[in-house]
């Protein structure tokens, strides 16, 4: 086993980090590059502005945004029709962005965020820097973001009223990119700084 | 079981000379002293780790002697067995830690009501939990070891092939990874369909966290009894006998045959007697049929004990012999941080 030093793809300076973050910032030129499969490379990412301030420390949480075409060809759900009608259950169908939290945030928050953001498809104000806050560490690799998005769809299908019995669908990924969303952290609690419900 | 314990291996930082901890499955390594970032590279695309042997030869032999006296082995085995050799051996295993996720839908059949009517209850399940898959990576079929569970107290050290006696790895990394991932996905579906009589839909995924080639220590103890050679394998960390062959108990075989014959004969005799006494009434014939069926089952059971009772097999050993103990499964579920959902 060997340790190979990682260098900034922009300026060539050795990369340093206190935390095991897939997004490594160069201390020399400030460029952020992504670590994957033993290498660092260029990465495009977006940052959303906070529009809902809450008490706590502002932290920008990385998400994989998986844009995919979801075509449900056949579905059989036992029961729950009335409940789905009364509650005006949102549909997870067609082309949409799937939000997959890529940070080591407690699952009680990330599970809800992933579902609500994917169903809500929020309108976001994109800004150029991590204004007034710090980045949360990214722990999820790009390679597994797509399957996590697909599982999110299956989770949705089982969590809606009724009992899923049969399902036939196509899940085609168009693109996968990084988006940082603002969140406010107090102790172990997180509140998102964007409207999403 | 707690969360899968990750292996930690210490290495020297090429930048500052400080000690860096490499965690199983993490190829991005940071030095806590100079904060330099490194990629951990390996020859075969998987980290190699070996565990420190903590059981000495005397303890291994003592455990094997205690094992001689357990189960239906030859009564005089402990007294007559002669150990011919005992040596340490490291066996390679592929180990995959992954999150297994599955969506499973189907029905559960139940019987209810006065008429014992069949009722179909729709079921759905989401499985989201951690699994560990491990499988031996060499041709060691005759040792009867197919998988391992690493004890909490095991100490991982950097692999050094100069220090150990081991078998060569014969299965490829990619094949082992694929098989391991498939086994975890299948286990997730199986866990989801626990209550289902029929499954109509299932989809599963595995999200790898670590993939490692592990060298685990054992003691191989060979011994003779009545001019025949047998063996036992002792875990080099827990000191448990994990596999082995031993002569069976001849007295137990005769008893099995005798008891089996007597019970079977008695059951059929009772049936015939009742059939005659009741002059062929339904109840007498019924008892006779039940007696014959019971006798067939008993004869089958005792035949197995008699036929294969000449050798006792411990662990994942194939061949003729009476199986003893439990074979370690290749996939283990880790229930900590589980987000399963059943309906």
pLDDT for position B82: 92
Q: Over the stretch A37-47, which tens digit does the pLDDT of each residue have? A: 889 998 889 99
Q: Please check whether residues B36 and B69 belong to one and the same domain.
A: no
Q: How far is A32 from chain B (nearest CA, A)?
A: 14
Q: How much is the average pLDDT of A165-169?
A: 91
Q: Do A24 and B205 touch (CB under 8 A)?
A: no
Q: Which residue in the set B41, B159, B205 is minimally distant from A4, CB to CB?
A: B41
Q: How much is the average pLDDT of B236-254?
A: 81
Question: Is residue B317 one of the residues assigned to a domain?
Answer: no
Instruction: Measure the CA angle with vertex B306, ends B303 and B312; round to 5°.
Output: 125
Q: Does any CB of chain A come closer than 8 Å to the CB of residue B26?
A: yes
Q: Which residue in the set B15, B34, B123 is minimally distant from A163, CB to CB?
A: B123
Question: Is residue B268 helix, strand or coil?
Answer: helix
Using the predicted structure, report yes or no on whether residue B50 has a pLDDT greater than 80. Answer: yes
Q: How much is the average pLDDT of A1-27?
A: 91
Candidate from A109-123, B238-252, B263-277 with smallest mean pLDDT:
B263-277
Q: Please check whether residues B269 and B282 belong to one and the same domain.
A: yes
pLDDT for position B2: 44
pLDDT for position B190: 95
Closest-CA residue in chain B for A157? B103
Q: Does any CB of chain B come closer than 8 Å to the CB of residue A139?
A: no
Q: How much is the average pLDDT of B46-53?
A: 82
Which helix (H) or strand (E) covers residue B183, if one does?
helix B173-192
Using the predicted structure, report yes or no on whether residue A113 has a pLDDT greater than 90. Answer: yes
pLDDT for position A85: 66
Q: How much is the average pLDDT of B301-327?
A: 62
pLDDT for position B268: 67
Q: Please check whether residues B31 and B176 belong to one and the same domain.
A: no
DSSP string for B84-122? EEEEEEEEEEEEEEEEEEEEEEEEEEEEETTTTEEEEEE
Question: Is residue B26 one of the residues assigned to a domain?
Answer: yes
pLDDT for position B332: 85
Three-state secondary structure string covering chain A: CEEEECECCCCCCECECCCCCCEEECCCCCCEEEEECCEEEECCEEEECCCCCCCCEEEEEEEEEEEEEEEEEEEEEECCHHHHHHCCCCCCCEEEEEEEECECCCHHHHHHHHHHHHHHCCCCCEECCCCCCEECCECCCHHHHHHHHHHHHHHHHHHCCCEEEEEEEEEEEEEEEEEEEEEEEECCEEEECCCCC
Question: Is residue B147 one of the residues assigned to a domain?
Answer: yes
Question: Is residue B275 one of the residues assigned to a domain?
Answer: yes
Q: Do A158 and B124 touch (CB under 8 A)?
A: yes
Q: Does any CB of chain A come closer than 8 Å to the CB of residue B11?
A: yes
Q: Which residue in the set A3, A107, A151 is minimally distant from B205, CB to CB?
A: A151
Q: Please check whether residues B54 and B159 belong to one and the same domain.
A: yes
Total domains, chain B: 3
Using the predicted structure, report yes or no on whether residue B291 has a pLDDT greater than 90. Answer: no
Question: Is residue B320 one of the residues assigned to a domain?
Answer: no
pLDDT for position B284: 65
pLDDT for position B298: 67
The answer to whether A192 and A52 are in contact (CB under 8 A) is yes
pLDDT for position B1: 42
Q: Which residue in the set B22, B30, B343 is minimally distant from A163, CB to CB?
A: B343
Q: Do A35 and B124 touch (CB under 8 A)?
A: no
Could you tell me which residue, B263 or B121, shows the higher pLDDT?
B121
Mean pLDDT across chain A:
90
Q: Which residue in the set A35, A144, A157 is minimally distant from B28, CB to CB?
A: A35
pLDDT for position B302: 60
Q: Find chain A residues with C-beta within 8 A of B26's C-beta.
A: 20
Question: Is residue B32 one of the residues assigned to a domain?
Answer: yes
Owning domain of residue B276: 252-305
Q: Do B122 and A79 touch (CB under 8 A)?
A: yes
Q: How much is the average pLDDT of B51-57?
A: 92
pLDDT for position B308: 45
Q: Please check whether residues B181 and B82 belong to one and the same domain.
A: yes
The answer to whether B42 and A1 are in contact (CB under 8 A) is yes
Using the predicted structure, report yes or no on whether residue A195 has a pLDDT greater than 90. Answer: no
Question: Is residue B1 one of the residues assigned to a domain?
Answer: no
Q: Please check whether residues B26 and B158 belong to one and the same domain.
A: no
Question: Is residue B107 one of the residues assigned to a domain?
Answer: yes
Q: Do A22 and B28 touch (CB under 8 A)?
A: yes
Q: Does any CB of chain A come closer than 8 Å to the CB of residue B15?
A: yes
CA neighbor of A105 nearest in space, from A188, A20, A13, A22: A188
d(CA A27, CA A49): 24
Using the predicted structure, report yes or no on whether residue B198 has a pLDDT greater than 90. Answer: yes
Candidate from A94-98, B84-88, B310-314 with smallest mean pLDDT:
B310-314
Q: Which of A164, A168, A170, A173 to mutate to test the interface with B (most CBs of B within 10 A)?
A: A164
Using the predicted structure, report yes or no on whether residue B87 has a pLDDT greater than 60. Answer: yes
Q: How far is B11 from chain A (nearest CA, A)?
A: 9
Q: Please check whether residues B78 and B95 belong to one and the same domain.
A: yes
Name, of A39-43, B113-117, B149-153, the range with top average pLDDT.
A39-43
Q: How far is A142 from chain B (nearest CA, A)?
A: 12
Q: How much is the average pLDDT of B3-11?
A: 67
Q: Please check whether residues B188 and B291 belong to one and the same domain.
A: no
Q: Please check whether residues B30 and B158 belong to one and the same domain.
A: no
Q: Please check whether residues B235 and B109 belong to one and the same domain.
A: yes
Interface predicted TM-score of the whole assembly (ipTM), two decimals: 0.85
Q: Which residue in the set B39, B47, B207 is minimally distant from A6, CB to CB?
A: B39
Q: Please check whether residues B127 and B234 belong to one and the same domain.
A: yes
Q: Does any CB of chain A come closer than 8 Å to the CB of residue B126?
A: yes
Q: Find chain B residues with C-beta within 8 A of A166's C-beta.
A: 105, 200-201
The answer to whether A150 and A54 are in contact (CB under 8 A) is no
Question: Is residue B27 helix, strand or coil?
Answer: coil
Q: Please check whether residues B97 and B169 belong to one and the same domain.
A: yes
């Amino acid at each position: 086993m060997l340790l190979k030093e990682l260098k900034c793809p922009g300026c060539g300076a050795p990369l340093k980090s206190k935390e095991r973050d897939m997004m490594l910032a160069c201390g020399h030129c400030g460029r952020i590059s992504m670590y994957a499969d033993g290498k660092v490379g260029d990465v495009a990412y977006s940052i959303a502005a906070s529009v809902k301030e809450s008490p706590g420390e502002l932290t920008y949480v990385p998400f994989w945004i998986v844009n995919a075409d979801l075509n449900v060809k056949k579905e059989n759900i036992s029961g729950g029709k009335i409940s789905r009608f009364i509650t005006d259950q949102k549909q997870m169908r067609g082309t949409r962005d799937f939000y997959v939290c890529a940070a080591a945030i407690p699952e009680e928050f990330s599970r809800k965020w992933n579902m609500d953001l994917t169903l809500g498809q929020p309108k976001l104000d994109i800004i150029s820097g991590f204004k007034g806050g710090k980045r949360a560490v990214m722990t999820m690799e790009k390679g597994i973001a797509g399957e996590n998005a697909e599982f999110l769809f299956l989770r949705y299908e089982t969590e809606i009223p009724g009992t899923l019995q049969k399902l036939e669908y196509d899940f085609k990924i168009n693109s996968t990119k990084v988006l940082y969303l603002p969140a406010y952290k107090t102790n172990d609690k997180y509140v998102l700084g964007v409207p999403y419900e | 079981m707690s969360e899968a314990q990750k292996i930690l291996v210490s290495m020297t930082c090429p930048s500052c000379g400080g000690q860096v901890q490499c965690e199983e499955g993490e190829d991005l390594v940071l030095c806590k002293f100079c904060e330099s970032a490194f990629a951990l590279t390996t020859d075969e695309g998987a980290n190699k780790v070996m565990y420190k042997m903590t059981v000495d030869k005397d303890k291994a032999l003592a455990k094997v002697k205690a094992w001689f006296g357990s189960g239906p082995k030859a009564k005089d085995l402990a007294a007559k067995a002669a150990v011919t050799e005992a040596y340490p051996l490291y066996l390679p295993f592929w180990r995959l830690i992954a999150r297994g996720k599955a969506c499973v839908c189907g029905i559960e059949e139940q019987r209810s009501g006065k008429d014992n009517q069949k009722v179909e209850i729709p079921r759905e399940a989401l499985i989201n939990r951690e699994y560990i898959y491990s499988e031996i990576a060499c041709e060691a079929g005759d040792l009867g070891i197919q998988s391992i569970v690493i004890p909490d107290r095991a100490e991982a050290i950097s692999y050094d092939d100069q220090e150990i006696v081991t078998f060569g790895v014969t299965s490829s990394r990619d094949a082992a990874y694929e098989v391991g991932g498939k086994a975890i996905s299948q286990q997730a579906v199986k866990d989801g369909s626990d209550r289902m009589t029929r499954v109509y839909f299932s989809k599963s995924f595995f999200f790898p966290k670590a993939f490692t080639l592990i060298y685990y220590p054992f003691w191989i103890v060979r011994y003779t009894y009545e001019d025949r050679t047998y063996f036992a394998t002792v875990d080099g960390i827990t000191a448990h006998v994990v596999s082995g062959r031993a002569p069976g108990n001849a007295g137990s075989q005769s008893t099995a045959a005798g008891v089996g014959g007597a019970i079977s004969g008695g059951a059929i005799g009772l049936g015939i007697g009742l059939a005659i006494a009741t002059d062929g009434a339904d109840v007498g014939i019924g008892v006779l049929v039940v007696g014959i069926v019971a006798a067939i089952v008993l004869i089958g059971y005792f035949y197995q004990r008699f036929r294969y009772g000449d050798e006792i097999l411990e662990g994942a050993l194939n061949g003729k012999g009476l199986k003893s103990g439990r074979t370690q499964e290749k996939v283990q579920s880790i229930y900590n941080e589980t987000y399963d959902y059943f309906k």
